[in-house]
């Protein structure tokens, strides 16, 4: 019995010793790579989603009723101002015009007769050789004949206008789209759309900016800023760069009170018709800040709940709470006096992404040492070391 008890105690000691050996160190130092923050001048592009628009675009609407008897263009092609596009059955309108011309001739004949009668009665009236009533009637008939001629003349003009409307011409140079009607279709004024024509050279590109950016863009529009800041380019849907640069043409008259945004319009030359109306693209505004900025590798920045943080390396032997109020620094002070590094989490405000780097607006200072590799295993106050270099990783990459 005693032997069994001794064996049990011995085995328990062995297990306890094995467990103690497997326990990791209480404060393991995490190997990391550090980078010292430096100020530098940054060139980058501000990017804005945008859409191409025609500077002039019109829907072709018929002005008269009738059947389409002719289509004189190829869909999707370039048309010139005044080019014949559609013809509406004009037979009724030709007949109306001929009738109006004939009525005008009759009215002119009646006017000649009324003028002769009025002249005759006027001569007789001077010698009191005709009744006053007959003279008055002759004068009234003459005035009515003149008015009839005017009315007939206007009827001729109206009939001629309607006859001219039977042929639809291009209002300006541009590209015509798909025809909405076919031969034989009956069209009605104000309701039937025949086609759409839009200009394509130059072409507009519209995008939205925040009202806080408005003064900057107004300076660009007025030419108060020169150089690369005034360079506007666009990326097409396939991520290719459009070869020509644009300029600001219009800034909208008012800011949207609901969104605090305003529309800006650029104009680009389009000689090869590479840009089509309605295309989605990205406007790039080449920006050059005159003041140096803090830049870090993007993988050093950690995003948490929409906020951004970095880990700053600090020595634990500095215990002055006034100069270094971070509680984590004081708590991890080494009693031996040997310097140890701690990773202190700092909230930062990020700016524009520039390739693999990101601009830091606030939260850290030039000269700070920032963890760039190994951030995925850190928390605020972790002990770190640079003795064992770690391979570059994607840890802490902004999402």
Q: Mark whether 83 and 106 lie in a shared domain.
A: no
79 cis-preceded (ω within 30 degrees of 0): no
CB 187 within 8 A of CB 68: yes
- Please, what sign has the CA dihedral across residues 156, 158, 161, 162? negative
pLDDT at residue number 353 = 78
Task: Give percent above pLDDT 90 in the chain.
Answer: 45
Q: With bands split at pLDDT 50, 70 and 90, how would you rate the model's confidence at 229?
A: very low
pLDDT in tens, 80-129: 999 999 999 999 999 999 999 999 999 999 999 999 988 888 888 888 88
Total domains in the chain come to 4
Q: In the predicted model, is pLDDT for residue 332 greater than 60? A: no
Q: Which band of pLDDT confidence, cut at 50, 70 and 90, is reported for residue 26?
A: low
- Answer yes or no: is pLDDT of 323 > 60: no
- Compute and round to an integer the Cα radius of gyration of the chain: 43
Banded model confidence at residue 225, pLDDT cuts 50, 70, 90: low
CATH number of 355's domain: 2.40.420.20
pLDDT at 9: 63
Give the end of a domain, one of 148, 165, 182.
165
70 and 189 part of one domain: yes
Q: Could you tell me if 379 and 270 lie in one domain?
A: no
Question: For residue 156, what is the domain's CATH number?
Answer: 1.10.287.470
Same-domain status, 299 and 380: yes
User: Is 219 within a domain?
Assistant: yes
326 found inside a domain? yes
Mean per-residue pLDDT over the chain, rounded: 83
pLDDT tops 60 at residue 328:
no
Same domain? 182 vs 66:
yes
| Domain boundary residue, one of 288, 322, 349 | 288
The predicted pLDDT at position 319 comes to: 46
Query: pLDDT by residue (tens digit) across 168-199?
Result: 999 999 999 999 999 999 999 988 999 999 99
Q: What is the mean pLDDT of residues 154-168?
A: 94
Question: Among candidates 265, 225, 228, 274, which has minimal Cα distance to 247?
Answer: 265
State whether 150 and 95 are in the same domain. Answer: yes
In a domain, 12, yes or no: no
Confidence of residue 322 (pLDDT cuts 50, 70, 90): very low
Where does the pLDDT of residue 329 fall: very low under 50, low under 70, confident under 90, or very high at 90 and above? very low
Sheet holding 167-169, edge to edge: 167-169, 84-88, 66-71, 186-187
| Same-domain status, 259 and 272 | yes
Sign of CA dihedral 295, 297, 300, 302: positive
**348-363: average pLDDT:** 82
Q: Confirm if 233 and 241 have CB atoms less than 8 A apart.
A: yes
Does residue 142 share a domain with residue 130?
Answer: yes
381: confidence class by pLDDT, cuts 50, 70, 90: confident
3-state secondary structure of 86: strand
pLDDT for 213: 87
Do 196 and 104 touch, CB atoms closer than 8 A? Answer: no
Per the model's pLDDT, the better-predicted residue between 373 and 72 turns out to be: 72
CB–CB of 237/230 below 8 Å? no
Q: Do residue 296 and residue 381 come from a single domain?
A: yes
One domain for residues 173 and 161: no
Q: 395 pLDDT exceeds 50?
A: no
If you average pLDDT over residues 19-29, what whole number do you get? 57
CATH code of the domain in which 208 resides: 2.40.30.170
pLDDT greater than 80 at residue 14: no
Within a domain: residue 260? yes
Q: Domain ends where: 255, 288, 321?
A: 288
Average pLDDT over residues 269-288: 88
Same domain, 296 and 312: yes
Give domain status of residue 181, yes or no.
Answer: yes
Task: For CA atoms 204, 210, 216, 219, give the dihedral sign.
Answer: positive
Residue 4 lies in a domain: no
What is the token pair recorded at 109? Answer: 């004949």
- Reported pTM: 0.62
> Mean per-residue pLDDT for 142-149?
92
171 against 382, higher pLDDT: 171
Domain housing 153: 91-165
């Amino acid at each position: 019995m005693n032997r069994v008890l001794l064996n049990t105690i011995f085995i328990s000691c062995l297990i306890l010793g094995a467990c103690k050996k497997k326990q990791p160190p209480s404060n393991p130092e995490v190997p990391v790579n550090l980078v010292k923050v430096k100020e530098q001048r940054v060139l980058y592009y501000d990017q804005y989603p945008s859409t191409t628009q025609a500077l002039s675009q019109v829907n072709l609407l018929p002005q008269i009723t009738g059947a389409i008897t002719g289509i004189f263009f190829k869909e999707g092609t370039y048309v010139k101002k005044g080019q014949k596009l559609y013809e509406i059955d004009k037979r009724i309108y030709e007949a109306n015009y001929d009738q109006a011309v004939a009525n005008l001739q009759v009215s002119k004949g009646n006017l000649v007769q009324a003028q002769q009668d009025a002249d005759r009665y006027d001569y007789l009236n001077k010698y009191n050789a005709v009744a006053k009533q007959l003279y008055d009637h002759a004068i009234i008939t003459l005035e009515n004949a003149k008015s009839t001629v005017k009315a007939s003349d206007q009827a001729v003009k109206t009939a001629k206008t309607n006859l001219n409307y039977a042929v639809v011409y291009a209002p300006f140079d541009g590209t015509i789209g798909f025809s909405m009607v076919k031969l034989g279709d009956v069209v009605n004024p104000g309701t039937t759309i025949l086609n759409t024509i839009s200009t394509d050279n130059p072409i507009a590109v519209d995008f939205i900016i925040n009202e806080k950016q408005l003064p900057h863009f107004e300076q660009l529009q007025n030419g108060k800023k020169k150089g690369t800041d005034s360079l506007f380019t666009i990326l097409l849907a396939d991520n290719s760069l459009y070869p020509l640069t644009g300029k600001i043409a219009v800034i909208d008259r008012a800011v949207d009170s609901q969104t605090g945004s305003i529309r800006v319009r650029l104009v680009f030359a389009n000689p090869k018709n590479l840009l089509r109306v309605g295309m989605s693209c990205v406007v790039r505004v080449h920006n050059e800040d005159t003041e140096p900025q803090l830049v870090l590798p993007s993988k050093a920045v950690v995003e948490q709940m929409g906020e951004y943080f970095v880990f700053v390396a600090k020595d634990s032997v500095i215990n002055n709470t006034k100069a270094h109020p971070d509680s984590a620094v004081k708590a991890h002070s080494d009693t031996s006096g040997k310097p140890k590094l701690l990773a202190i989490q700092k909230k930062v405000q990020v700016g524009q992404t520039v390739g693999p780097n990101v601009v830091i607006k606030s939260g850290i200072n030039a000269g700070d040492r920032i963890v760039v590799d190994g951030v995925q295993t850190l928390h605020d106050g972790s002990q770190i070391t640079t003795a064992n270099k770690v391979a570059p990783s994607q840890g802490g990459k902004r999402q």
